[in-house]
């Protein structure tokens, strides 16, 4: 899948652009605007359904959980996306919306984790609630090279061993992760 589709996917997830055109969804901050300003008027909170409110809260939490460099990547992608002709934008929306819901939700983790989520999903897609925050914190500390190795480990790990391998990985000290990943990826 092309990076354009993936970038568009993240924008769609975060900006709510998966809604029908003209639905009045809030846009991401433009590259020229301060991080908190919106570029389009959103419907008043009291006019949103409970589901729309939950979605907006999730989008906001996603945005706040990202590092500033990830937010900048999203702003840059939004700027590139905005320069595309409307028919190309719609084609990218359609391609993204045709993807599995788990794939689309993976982009809620930000640009870096979103890019790897499809390959990490088997091992990290169904983490018990009590472990989610810690797991996400560890995953967000990883470099692209480490995520690539971890994705390889996740794909090679049989389903019946995933929980055990995930628990081992989460217990590895940050300074030992490269060695652990190299050993596991080499198996």
Per-residue pLDDT tens for 77-134? 888 888 999 999 898 888 888 888 888 888 878 888 888 988 999 999 888 888 888 9
Predicted model pTM: 0.68
**Domain range for 85:** 1-99
pLDDT at residue 34 in the model: 41
67 and 130 housed in the same domain? no
70 and 137 housed in the same domain? no
* Burial of 20 per CB tally in 10 Å (0-12, 13-18, 19+): exposed
Q: Is residue 7 part of a domain?
A: yes
139 and 167 housed in the same domain? yes
157-166, long-range: CB within 8 Å, 24+ apart, which pairs? 157/122, 157/123, 159/122, 162/122, 162/123, 165/123, 166/123, 166/124, 166/127, 166/135
pLDDT at residue 147 in the model: 95
Q: Is residue 134 part of a domain?
A: yes
Q: Is residue 104 part of a domain?
A: no
Q: Given 74, 99, 124, which residue is the final one in a domain?
A: 99
* Beta carbons of 123 and 162 less than 8 angstroms apart: yes
* Burial of 74 per CB tally in 10 Å (0-12, 13-18, 19+): buried
Q: Given 75, 99, 123, which residue is the final one in a domain?
A: 99
Mutual angle of helices 111-124 and 162-171, in 10-degree steps? 130
pLDDT at residue 150 in the model: 97
Tell me which DSSP letter residue 107 carries.
G
């Amino acid at each position: 899948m092309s990076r354009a589709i993936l970038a568009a996917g993240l924008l769609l997830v975060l900006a709510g652009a998966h809604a029908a055109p003209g639905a009045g969804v809030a846009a991401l901050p433009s590259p020229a605007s301060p991080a908190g300003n919106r570029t389009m008027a959103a419907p008043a909170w009291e006019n949103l359904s409970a589901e729309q409110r939950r979605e907006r809260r999730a989008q906001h939490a996603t945005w706040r959980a990202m590092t500033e460099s990830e937010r900048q990547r999203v702003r840059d992608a939004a700027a590139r996306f905005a320069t595309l002709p409307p028919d190309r934008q719609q084609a990218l929306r359609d391609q993204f919306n045709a993807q599995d819901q788990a794939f689309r939700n993976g982009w809620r983790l930000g640009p870096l984790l979103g890019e790897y989520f499809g390959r990490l999903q088997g091992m990290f897609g169904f983490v018990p609630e009590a472990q989610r925050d810690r797991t996400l914190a560890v995953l967000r500390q990883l470099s692209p090279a480490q995520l690539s190795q971890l994705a390889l480990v996740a794909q090679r790990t049989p389903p019946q061993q995933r929980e055990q391998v995930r628990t081992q990985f989460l217990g590895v000290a940050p300074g030992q992760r490269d060695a652990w990943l190299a050993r596991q990826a080499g198996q």
